[in-house]
Structure 1
Amino acid sequence: MADPGRPVVPGEGPPDEGSPRAGLAGAELAGLGVSQGRAAGPVIRMAPPPVLPSPRQVADPAAEAAAVVKALESVTADLRQRAANAARDTGGGDGTASAGADDAAEILDALAMIADDPMLREDAEAAVRDGLDAPHALDAAFTHHRETLAALGGYLAERAADLDDLKHRAIAACLGLPMPGIPAPGHPYILVAEDLSPADTAGLGTDVVALVTEKGGPTSHTAILARGRGLPAVVACAGITALADGTVISVDGKTGQVGVGLTDEAVAEVRRSDREERERLANSSGPGRTADGHPVKLLLNIGSAADLRPGAEGVGLFRTEFLFLDRKREPSFEEQVAAYAEVFARAGTVVVRTLDAGTDKPLPFLGLLPEPNPALGIRGLRVDRVLPAVLDTQLDAIAEAARATGADAWVMAPMVTTPAEAAGFARRARARGLTRVGAMVEVPAAALLADRLLAEVDFLSIGTNDLSQYTFAADRQHPGLADLLDPWQPALLKLIAACADAGRAAGKPVGVCGEAAGDPRLAPVLVGLGVTSLSMAAVCVPSVREELSQHTLEECRELAALAR
Structure 2
Amino acid sequence: MNLRGVGVSPGIGHGPAYLLTARVPEPPEGATHAGDADQEKERAVMALAQVAGELEARGDRAGGEAREILKAQALMAEDPGLVVKIRSLIDRGTAAPRAVHEAFTKYRDVLEGVGGYLGERAADLDDLRDRVIAQLTGQELPGLPPPGDTPYVLVAHDLAPADTALLSGHAVAAFVTEEGGPTSHTAIMARALGVPAVVACAGATTLRPGVEVLVDGTSGEVRARPTESDVARAESVDTARQAAIDRVTGPGRTKDGHPVPLLANVGGPADLEAARSCGAEGVGLYRTEFLFLGRAEPPGAEEQERAYRAALEAFPGGPVIVRTLDAGADKPLAVLPPGSAEPNPALGERGLRLLRAHPEVLETQLDALATAGAGSGGRLRVMAPMVTTAEEARWFAAACRAADLPEAGVMIEVPAAALRARDLVAEVDFVSAGTNDLAQYAFAADRELGALSELHDPWQPALLDLLAGLLAAAAQAGKPGGVCGEAAADPGLACVLAGLGAASLSMGPAALPAVRAALAYHTLEQCRAAAESARAATTAAGARAAARAHLTELEALGL
* CA distances 1:159-207 after superposition (whole Å, capped 9, x unpaired): 4434433443454455554432013484332111122222221243633
Post-superposition offset of 1:543: 0.2
Q: Counterparts of 1:459 and 1:53 in 2: how far apart (Å)? A: 53
Q: Counterparts of 2:479 and 2:349 in 1: how far apart (Å)? A: 29
Query: What residue is the counterpart of 1:41 in the other structure?
Result: 15
Residues 459 and 107 of structure 1, relative CA distance in 2, 3 Å threshold? closer
Match of 1:181 among 143, 155, 161: 143
Query: What residue is the counterpart of 1:363 in the other structure?
Result: 333
Contact 1:75 / 1:166 at 8 angstroms: preserved in 2? Answer: no
Larger Rg belongs to: 1
Contact 1:291 / 1:553 at 8 angstroms: preserved in 2? Answer: yes
Q: Counterparts of 2:510 and 2:16 in 1: how far apart (Å)? A: 25
Post-superposition offset of 1:74: 11
Residues 342 and 547 of structure 1, relative CA distance in 2, 3 Å threshold? same
Query: What residue is the counterpart of 2:270 in the other structure?
Result: 306
Post-superposition offset of 1:413: 2.1
Match of 2:507 among 532, 536, 540: 536
Residues 135 and 341 of structure 1, relative CA distance in 2, 3 Å threshold? same
Matched, 1:199 2:167: no
Contact 1:195 / 1:214 at 8 angstroms: preserved in 2? Answer: yes
Matched, 1:555 2:526: yes
Q: Counterparts of 1:506 and 1:243 in 2: how far apart (Å)? A: 54
Query: What residue is the counterpart of 1:291 in the other structure?
Result: 255
Matched, 1:316 2:279: no
Matched residue SS, 1:521: helix
Matched residue SS, 2:222: strand
Contact 2:15 / 2:214 at 8 angstroms: preserved in 1? Answer: yes
Match of 1:242 among 193, 206, 213: 206
Query: What residue is the counterpart of 1:495 in the other structure?
Result: 466
What is the one-letter code of the residue matched to 2:160?
Answer: S
What is the one-letter code of the residue matched to 1:165?
Answer: D
Residues 497 and 66 of structure 1, relative CA distance in 2, 3 Å threshold? closer
Match of 1:461 among 432, 440, 447: 432
Contact 2:90 / 2:99 at 8 angstroms: preserved in 1? Answer: yes
Match of 1:506 among 435, 455, 477: 477
Contact 2:179 / 2:449 at 8 angstroms: preserved in 1? Answer: no
- Structure 1, unaligned stretches of length 5 or more? 1-24, 88-99
Count how many residue pairs are aligned between Structure 1 and Structure 2: 525
Q: Counterparts of 2:459 and 2:83 in 1: how far apart (Å)? A: 48
Residues 184 and 280 of structure 1, relative CA distance in 2, 3 Å threshold? farther
Matched, 1:391 2:354: no
Query: What residue is the counterpart of 2:490 in the other structure?
Result: 519
Residues 473 and 131 of structure 1, relative CA distance in 2, 3 Å threshold? closer
TM-score, normalising length: structure 2: 0.81
Matched, 1:228 2:192: yes
Match of 1:337 among 286, 305, 308: 305
Match of 2:216 among 230, 252, 255: 252
Match of 2:3 among 14, 28, 42: 28
Residues 386 and 190 of structure 1, relative CA distance in 2, 3 Å threshold? same
Contact 1:466 / 1:476 at 8 angstroms: preserved in 2? Answer: no
Post-superposition offset of 1:346: 1.9
Matched residue SS, 2:492: coil
Residues 494 and 162 of structure 1, relative CA distance in 2, 3 Å threshold? closer
Post-superposition offset of 1:357: 2.7
Post-superposition offset of 1:433: 1.9
Query: What residue is the counterpart of 1:483 in the other structure?
Result: 454
RMSD between aligned residues: 3.6
Q: Counterparts of 2:412 and 2:49 in 1: how far apart (Å)? A: 46
Post-superposition offset of 1:120: 7.9
More displaced stretch, 431-440 vs 255-264: 255-264
Q: Counterparts of 2:31 and 2:39 in 1: how far apart (Å)? A: 11
Percent of counterpart pairs with the same letter? 51
Contact 1:350 / 1:408 at 8 angstroms: preserved in 2? Answer: yes
Residues 222 and 477 of structure 1, relative CA distance in 2, 3 Å threshold? closer
Matched residue SS, 1:28: strand
Residues 33 and 344 of structure 1, relative CA distance in 2, 3 Å threshold? same
Post-superposition offset of 1:384: 4.5
Residues 266 and 51 of structure 1, relative CA distance in 2, 3 Å threshold? same
Post-superposition offset of 1:461: 1.2
Query: What does 1:51-450 correspond to in 2, within 5 Å?
Result: 51-52=25-26, 65=40, 68=43, 72=47, 76=51, 79=54, 83=58, 87=61, 103-104=65-66, 131=93, 135-136=97-98, 139-140=101-102, 143=105, 154-172=116-134, 177-184=139-146, 186=148, 187-204=150-167, 206-282=170-246, 284-308=248-272, 309-310=275-276, 311-348=279-316, 349-368=319-338, 369-450=340-421
Post-superposition offset of 1:68: 4.9
Contact 2:213 / 2:225 at 8 angstroms: preserved in 1? Answer: yes
TM-score, normalising length: structure 1: 0.81
Q: Counterparts of 1:363 and 1:497 in 2: how far apart (Å)? A: 34
Post-superposition offset of 1:111: 6.4
Contact 1:139 / 1:171 at 8 angstroms: preserved in 2? Answer: yes
